[in-house]
Chains A and B, each alone.
Chain A
Amino acid sequence: MHASDALTEADRLMTVCNSCRYCEGLCAVFPAMEMRRSFGDGDLNYLANLCHACGACYVDCQFSPPHEFNVNVPKTLAIVRAESWELYAWPGFLAGLFRRNGVAIALITAISVAAFLFLFMRAGDVAMVIPADAPASFYRIMPHNVMAGLFGGAFAFALLALVMSLRNFWLDIGEPVTTLAAPKPLWQAIRDASTLRYLDGGGVGCFNADERPDDRRRFYHHLTFYGFLLCFAATSVGTLYHYLLGREAPYPLWDLPVVLGTLGGVGLIVGPIGLARAKRQRLPDMVDKSRSGMDVAFILMLVLTSVSGLALLALRSTPAMSGLLALHLGIVFALFVTLPYSRFVHGLYRFAALVRYAREREVHR
């Protein structure tokens, strides 16, 4: 017996697929399936998170609907995957944030932005009239230590929640902890994840409603992911500047935090928008439409983070600065605290699944 209808259906499909195996060259899911003969919930959750949803197995399948065997692996695994994220969420009572995710994230963001605006106004009649081009003006509005404490706290919470969720996943799929410390599978997974090796539809790209596969999703995902990393790097460099070199923001345009942040910010605008567009062009039959709110919410958060950050950079010497700062900080704060309950987690579990897959490949060879 399985814990949900989707898991029961996934079990049925894996039995069909395991008797066929035509798709074993397409991605990691089918070779991983072939290493098993029966599929428990943990196995299915592992396979679901290993799936990159390229869609190749759906259009290649002789048994996909309207065939009576009704084999729809990408959609079924998408549902199982999303359900598994709820299952692993930590603390458990926040799992509900995954349901009606768009509404939840919009609310948290609005509250967070409003709170920053309120704080700023309270702190100051003084702060609001400070000439924006004065050095370190950000920190006149909000002292650096307060800002660092607030965001450090939010970040630490997100990190803790993600680590605990990952732990739940790892226990569920029944993999020993030692695997995460083995260098070879880890390195293999880093390579597979950083190139999105399995988002290539077996070589031709993702499958779309117009029957012409292309590699757009991989391209825009790269922009998004590496844009995110660059922004993260910008923040990290800024923090180092502050504490090690005693150099305070705002930094000049040519300086590393600004350059990294700007490049990353552009990636974080073009990437998510491109992904949203590519998503609309996918074959509707294999998409789990019931959860598109989660995708939209995450894409929107990334774009808003980036747009507000770049706007702040462009207008930091104008009276709009303090309002924009509140907006940007509010969005980033909301992004951080909702990270463990957003579409973001797909990367975490997929990476972990890739580590496990790399280890399994070693053992089975």
Chain B
Amino acid sequence: MTHASVDVLVIGGGNAGLCAAIAARRAGASVHVVEAAPKFYRGGNTRHTRNMRCAHDSATEILSGPYTEAEFYEDLLRVTQGNTNEDLARLMIRESKDILNWIVDQGVRWQPSLGGTLSLGRTNSFFLGGGRAMLNALYLTAEKLGVTFAYDSEVVDLELEGGYCRAAIIKQPDGSQRIEAKAVVAAAGGFEANIDWLKEAWGPSAENFLIRGTPYNRGTLLKMLIDKGVAEVGDPTQCHAVAIDARAPKFDGGIITRLDCVVFGIVVNNRAERFYDEGEDIWPKRYAIWGRLVAQQPDQIAYILFDAPSLNLFMPSLFPPIEAPTIPALAEKLGLDSAGLEATVSAFNTAVRPGTFDDKVLDDCRTEGLTPPKSHWARKIETAPFYAYPVRPGITFTYLGVRVDGDARMQMADGKAAENLFAAGEIMAGNVLGRGYAAGIGMTIGSVFGRIAGREAASHARQ
């Protein structure tokens, strides 16, 4: 075992970790970042992100209008259904205004909202080149400032007692290292890639979940912190899940396996039965419930069915839809009961009322006398060829985290504040985001609390 010491040790090299590292280094501390992934996969789920939600009082070059602190807070209350810590939430929103400029000073570049994301043009700033471009810029800035990095370096133990962390033990391909630190920032993400842990909450069905992001968010550090007396926050059984293409790889399929076509057709399970109102609300407001809905179906699989007129109404995705000239032929390709699928489709078609189709608003195309109903955008599925996408639950992130205060300082289960332990990013997101999600909030939490954690850790290291 080799030995080293540093003022501030940052565990995790994503958005939150890098913001912490840069802030701590700018405050004068020596900083070392350990990243569990190999270099290419550095940065956890930040690699897959594309934007950040920040409050701003007026339009900017890339944002189409103001997004006030009050409006941001209302949006947060709505998506979390009140499951948030108001003080921390308001602090985050206040700081997000400045982060919009601070992050640019760290080399990150913005661009207007991407094609197909017009609904976010006012509230969210997009990274030019996406999340990995953002990460590359942060790494380059940190490196120029003198921050050091180690990849393939997983924390396997913490010398943590009574809220004071003396050192961390790091496992590396060529041996292990003990790093003493005056302060530690935990920014190592959630546990969504730890299938065994997911099974504790979901049972065996979690085996059939796909992980949309990094395979390295195994929650090792989170579990270690909780086991060593840090207070937890957020529901351990909850995760953010959407329905993604079932043909996606088990890990790291990212954005390109998402499907935005539920509202244009019907969704059936492997018994060829519908199970939820596909047209309940506009898609961005409902896409996050479908992961859970599919998870509750037999074998955790479902099929989105639609016909020719809908083919080009939504963003393309990685895999082409499965295509057939008739509904029974499609059923055969999907391995579903032909008669059953035909019955479901014809029952749906019979229930469709005439209306004027408009996918931009809650239109009047709906079913009548059907259970479950389809409340909007219901059009008969009758024009060949017919198409289907198989979908499975895709886990984006988990909610369980460590409790922090406004200085990003961890709180112990006994109610005391930790002495030199700070947290930022997904590992503490549950403080602000108790449930639900709104686009770009994860990155806001990462950058805002990362900067605070870095600043506070450096200040602690100086004392």
> A residues touching B (Cβ–Cβ < 8 Å)?
15-16, 18-26, 31, 34, 37, 56-57, 59-63, 66-69, 202-204, 211-212
CA distance A127 to B132 in the complex (A): 66
CA distance A291 to B47 in the complex (A): 32
CA distance A328 to B183 in the complex (A): 69
User: Is B136 engaged at the interface, CB distance under 8 Å to the other chain?
Assistant: yes
CA distance A34 to B116 in the complex (A): 10
CA distance A22 to B109 in the complex (A): 13
Q: Let me know if A60 and B130 touch, CB within 8 A.
A: yes
Least distance between B389 CB and chain A CB atoms (Å): 12
Contacts of B317 in A (CB 8 A): 19
Least distance between A91 CB and chain B CB atoms (Å): 40
Q: Let me know if B131 and A62 touch, CB within 8 A.
A: yes
Q: Let me know if A62 and B109 touch, CB within 8 A.
A: no
Q: Let me know if A202 and B318 touch, CB within 8 A.
A: no
User: Is B224 engaged at the interface, CB distance under 8 Å to the other chain?
Assistant: no
Contacts of A212 in B (CB 8 A): 140
Q: Let me know if B129 and A60 touch, CB within 8 A.
A: yes
The number of inter-chain residue pairs (CB within 8 angstroms) is 83
Q: Let me know if A202 and B109 touch, CB within 8 A.
A: yes
Contacts of B126 in A (CB 8 A): 25
Q: Let me know if A60 and B133 touch, CB within 8 A.
A: yes
Using A26-B129, A34-B115, A56-B129 as known contacts, say yes or no to A66 and B40 having CB atoms under 8 A apart.
yes
Q: Let me know if B40 and A67 touch, CB within 8 A.
A: yes
User: What bracket does the count of chain B residues touching chain A fall in?
Assistant: 20 to 34
Which chain B residues numbered 38 to 58 have a C-beta less than 8 Å away from chain A? 40, 47-48, 50
Q: Let me know if B249 and A19 touch, CB within 8 A.
A: no
Q: Let me know if B255 and A20 touch, CB within 8 A.
A: yes
User: Is B81 engaged at the interface, CB distance under 8 Å to the other chain?
Assistant: no
Within the complex, which residue of B40, B112, B131, B318 is in contact with A16, where a contact is CB–CB below 8 Å?
Answer: B318
User: Is B252 engaged at the interface, CB distance under 8 Å to the other chain?
Assistant: yes
User: Is B70 engaged at the interface, CB distance under 8 Å to the other chain?
Assistant: no
- Selected A-B contacts with CB under 8 Å, 30 pairs: A15-B316, A19-B256, A19-B258, A19-B317, A20-B130, A22-B127, A22-B133, A23-B130, A24-B111, A24-B115, A25-B111, A25-B112, A25-B114, A25-B126, A25-B129, A26-B129, A31-B115, A34-B115, A57-B129, A60-B129, A60-B130, A60-B132, A62-B130, A62-B132, A67-B252, A68-B252, A202-B128, A202-B133, A203-B109, A212-B140
User: Is B463 engaged at the interface, CB distance under 8 Å to the other chain?
Assistant: no
Query: Please, which residue of chain A has its CB at the minimum distance from the CB of B312?
Result: A37
Q: Let me know if A20 and B136 touch, CB within 8 A.
A: no
CA distance A22 to B140 in the complex (A): 20
CA distance A56 to B249 in the complex (A): 25
Query: Please, which residue of chain B has its CB at the minimum distance from the CB of A59?
Result: B136
Contacts of A68 in B (CB 8 A): 249, 252
Q: Let me know if A19 and B318 touch, CB within 8 A.
A: yes
Q: Let me know if B109 and A20 touch, CB within 8 A.
A: no
Using A37-B312, A37-B316, A211-B140 as known contacts, say yes or no to A24 and B249 having CB atoms under 8 A apart.
no
Contacts of B128 in A (CB 8 A): 25-26, 202-203
User: Is B163 engaged at the interface, CB distance under 8 Å to the other chain?
Assistant: no
Contacts of B140 in A (CB 8 A): 211-212
CA distance A63 to B256 in the complex (A): 10
CA distance A37 to B320 in the complex (A): 11
Mask of B81-120 contacts with A, CB within 8 angstroms, 1/0: 0000000000000000000000000000101101110000
Using A59-B136, A62-B254, A63-B254 as known contacts, say yes or no to A202 and B129 having CB atoms under 8 A apart.
yes
Using A18-B316, A68-B249 as known contacts, say yes or no to A61 and B132 having CB atoms under 8 A apart.
yes
User: Is B315 engaged at the interface, CB distance under 8 Å to the other chain?
Assistant: yes
CA distance A137 to B276 in the complex (A): 92
Query: Please, which residue of chain B has its CB at the minimum distance from the CB of A67?
Result: B252
Query: Please, which residue of chain A has its CB at the minimum distance from the CB of B134?
Result: A60
Least distance between A223 CB and chain B CB atoms (Å): 27
Least distance between A331 CB and chain B CB atoms (Å): 42
Q: Let me know if B111 and A15 touch, CB within 8 A.
A: no
Q: Let me know if A22 and B40 touch, CB within 8 A.
A: no
CA distance A337 to B149 in the complex (A): 54
Contacts of B252 in A (CB 8 A): 62, 67-68
Q: Let me know if A22 and B318 touch, CB within 8 A.
A: no
Least distance between A60 CB and chain B CB atoms (Å): 4
Contacts of A62 in B (CB 8 A): 47-48, 130-132, 252, 254
Least distance between A247 CB and chain B CB atoms (Å): 54
The residue among A20, A61, A203 with the most chain B CB atoms within 10 A of its own CB is A20
Contacts of A34 in B (CB 8 A): 115
Q: Let me know if A19 and B316 touch, CB within 8 A.
A: yes
CA distance A21 to B118 in the complex (A): 13
